[in-house]
Structure 1
């Protein structure tokens, strides 16, 4: 009897296992990235910097304390690419692939882990989903790498260098990691609209969410066979919100900077700067310019975009597009006096509304508290806007920076590391870590009205 009780106490939930798996990957990476065999000659990396790099890679954030191109050799770049792939598509996607290859049966426990890792709500079809996610990711990255590598022959004389850069940055773009081995992000391509367009397409494909891509593929097959197909509410809401924010973001950046940073530029330069910054702010982390040159209003707006982040079950972080959409629709519905939230002739489930407000509220508190804390440690050498921008970028796993990352103190680096890790596992997983209640209490209490607002 005592043994059973002890087992119940120490048994781990699926959320605990997933979180510990990512934490273990970060710790392993902190050791691997520190090894000299992965560095260029003469480069030394402290443990805090190595830990920071591992967390940034597994969370596909892209914030760096050292210049990636100057720090890592080819072996180090390959290790980094493995971590980006690992963090981008999720532990359970690769885990499922390994299980299938080894011929092992994927039971209920494994399916629960997959469900948690990819933020799914049901257990059906998860193994097939993981196979599709892996195949889709590899295919998109391969095609993107092939296109980029071929085009980069224009810049590099030997094919090895061109495709080496092409495939790495295609992987980094699709996983929305933002790591680069050019040495200056995409500054050298600020007037190369082809490279920017390919990178934006890859960033969008990674951030829109795997369920959306799978549904689009199914729609195209059904249309080819002349069969009717209805998109799910999730896909409709996610896609509408995602592209609305993308277009609104580009328009807002254009208007805010038209008479400032964009002054004197041609219309196409303004268009691509606005569009690329709107796309990359949603989780990409790549930059074609120094974002610190933007006005404070623009930087604050970009910070909001970074916090919103990408879609659920994608490679990105943040509070996610559906959370933002549900909170926004709830406010509109409440203002109109409606008790239900209806969109696309469907009603949003009450539990999803509660989850959205919990995630939104906790994110707001976390970002506010982290900004105060980081400002306390770094404030003497960084402005409040720089600190807020860095915190938002870390939580949203975006990777954009105003240039203060490398100058952070060890305490500041550890705080940003924690934020990147939270951004990767998600706020719901973080909250569920503290849920030790196995059986819901049957006791009910009478309700009573209180004064709100």
Structure 2
């Protein structure tokens, strides 16, 4: 009888030794593995879904990407779709938020320094505020998802005669949209609802609200009675401004590039539908993954695909349900570039000085993400060389790599035709992209060089100039 308590104590001791990045990685892997086992059972899926297909789908769901090698509406049972929706909620509401919440139970009695470390690593939470913040995130998500599902049920999916089916379709797509997942119950995504303004507006609204992040929505709600720029934090103003500009530039850019390219899909639809489609794709490309356009090299011009890749790589905002390098990272880099060109010593945004640590983090995230995407594309190219058929162009492989890493889910017809090696690359890309390149590298570095890190924190080196 004493063996079981000892085993539990040893397990708890193992978890206590994990740092926050390591704990997040381990928990993410456990959730993906559990989801894989559940989805691969006959009660959740058809015989077409084996362990590999379940692993790919589970990873895509937990990382809220939307890439899939199966037909969600056909190959998963209703119960399997419910499990998939639950995994979207786990991944979308913030894998890091949930792991921190769980860590509060596992790491009892930790020192104050460790609690402060958690607060710094996961910038959405302060000391002792994990439970309250998580409740706020859950309540906000529940209200918005239910509102979106209600509107879709009453006014969006009216052509579905069965009320039960219509209700589930509305709930599933509302969950998927708010979590920026891009999973749909139809293989053609939302292409059949291109001219349905209700569906377009509801999906776009949920995608934007989910991608803004908890800190922004909380700030807006706290200042709802006196909603003025001066009352909002710098973070909120930057996120709103950058998100609006990216959406505007993306929509106008798509209208220009696709209207000038004769013979593609955009030229076949009228202007009102063309405008709403451009806005939808501009919003969705920043990690949502829904599409009302058949994505392929034949339907979208090369310049349009390049614009979509840029929007995908930037992604959503910190603390949101999307991926990418984040809008604030882009804002910090642009401000640093402006300061450099002006010969200024400090980086200033809206009369506020940005610390060097934030700028260095932005540079590290961007460079690390870019190198990782290039490595993914290189490996896909190697896998493509051994493929007997369905060879893909460099643009298709780069587009798919960015889509996976930025957890977007846009697919130009590559994912289904990749072998297991190529799909494994996408699995790794989705996992790394959702957790964040710096967090994952930090987890690995701390595991390998823990003593060296502690020693380096006490060392200061002499300064020397470097010409660039």
Kindly indicate whether the alpha-carbon contact (under 8 Å) linking 1:114 and 1:126 is maintained by their aligned counterparts in 2: no
| 1:73-112 matches, cutoff 5 A | 73-91=77-95, 93-94=97-98
Say if 1:443 and 1:283 are closer, same or farther in 2 by CA, change over 3 A: closer
Instruction: Map residues 28-43 of structure 1 onto 2, 5 A cutoff.
Output: 28-40=34-46, 43=47
The CA distance in 2 between the partners of 1:249 and 1:417, in whole Å, is 27
Give the equivalent residue in structure 2 for 1:426: 436
Structure 1 residues 91 and 450: alpha-carbon distance in aligned structure 2, compared to 1, 3 A threshold = closer
TM-fit CA distance, 1:124: 5.8
Q: Secondary structure at the match of 2:323?
A: coil
Tell me the secondary structure at the aligned position of residue 38 of structure 1: coil
Structure 2 CA distance, aligned partners of 1:208 and 1:441?
34
Q: For 2:121 and 2:39, how far apart are their aligned partners in 1? A: 25
1:442, CA displacement in angstroms?
2.9
Asked whether the equivalents of residues 94 and 134 of structure 1 are also in contact (C-alpha less than 8 Å), the reply is no
Question: Does the CA-based 8 Å contact 1:308-1:318 persist in structure 2?
Answer: yes
Query: Distance in 1 between the 2:401 and 2:351 partners?
Result: 38
- What SS is found at the alignment partner of 1:258? helix
Aligned ranges 1:55-204 → 2 under 5 Å: 55-91=59-95, 93-94=97-98, 115=119, 118-120=122-124, 122-123=126-127, 125-152=129-156, 154-204=158-208
Change (3 A) 1:118 1:61: farther
**Aligned residue in 2 for 1:407:** 417
Counterpart for residue 319 of structure 2 = 313
1:289 to 289, 293, 296: 293
Question: Equivalent residue for 2:304?
Answer: 298
Q: Indicate the SS of the match to 2:397.
A: helix
Distance, in Å, in 1 between the alignment partners of 2:42 and 2:64 is 23
Distance 1:124 1:439, change over 3 A: farther
Distance 1:183 1:352, change over 3 A: same
Q: Which residue of 2 aligns with 1:3?
A: none
The CA deviation string for residues 142-174 of structure 1, in whole angstroms up to 9 with x for no partner, is 111111112245211121111110000000000
Query: 2:329, 2:411 → 1: CA distance?
Result: 25
- Report the aligned-residue RMSD: 2.7
Q: Give the Cα–Cα distance (whole angstroms) in 2 for the partners of residues 117 and 448 of structure 1.
A: 30
Measured at CA, do residues 313 and 114 of structure 1 come closer, stay the same or move farther in structure 2, by a change above 3 Å? farther
**How far is the alpha carbon of 1:121 from its aligned partner?**
6.9
Q: CA deviation at 1:116?
A: 6.9
Unaligned runs of 5+ in 2: 1-12
Are the equivalent residues in 1 in contact too, given 2:152–2:198 (CA < 8 A)? no
Give the whole-Å Cα distance in 2 for the aligned partners of 1:405 and 1:374: 11
How many residue pairs get aligned? The number is 439
Residue of structure 2 in register with 1:442 after alignment: 458
Distance in 1, matches of 2:218 and 2:169, equals: 28
Separation (CA, whole Å) in 1 of partners of 2:339 and 2:198: 42
Q: Does the 8 Å CA contact 1:34/1:50 hold for their aligned counterparts?
A: yes
The verdict on how the C-alpha distance between 1:170 and 1:113 changes in structure 2, with shifts beyond 3 A counting, is farther
Q: Is the 8 A contact 2:20 2:118 kept in 1?
A: no
Task: Tell me what 2:4 maps to.
Answer: none
Q: What's the secondary structure of 1:342's corresponding residue?
A: strand
CA distance in 2, matches of 1:258, 1:357: 35
User: Residue 111 and residue 314 in structure 1: after superposition, are their counterparts in 2 closer, same or farther (change >3 A)?
Assistant: farther
Q: Distance in 1 between matches of 2:113 and 2:160?
A: 49
1:328 corresponds in structure 2 to: 334
Residue 253 of structure 2: aligned partner: 252
CA deviation vs aligned residue, 1:416-443 (integer Å, no higher than 9, x gap): 0000001111112112111322354433
Structure 1's 159 and 425: CA in aligned 2 closer, same or farther, altered over 3 A?
Answer: same
Matched, 1:417 2:427: yes
TM-score (norm 2): 0.88
Tell me which moved more, 261-270 or 23-32. Answer: 261-270
Q: Distance in 2 between matches of 1:285 and 1:111?
A: 36
> For the residues of structure 1 that align with 2:281 and 2:142, how far apart are their CA atoms?
26
CA distance in 1 between counterparts of 2:429 and 2:229 reads: 44
1:106: how far off?
Answer: 10
CA contact (8 A) 1:64 1:405 kept: yes
Answer yes or no: is the 8 Å Cα contact 2:20–2:121 preserved in 1. Answer: no
2:395 equivalent in structure 1: 385
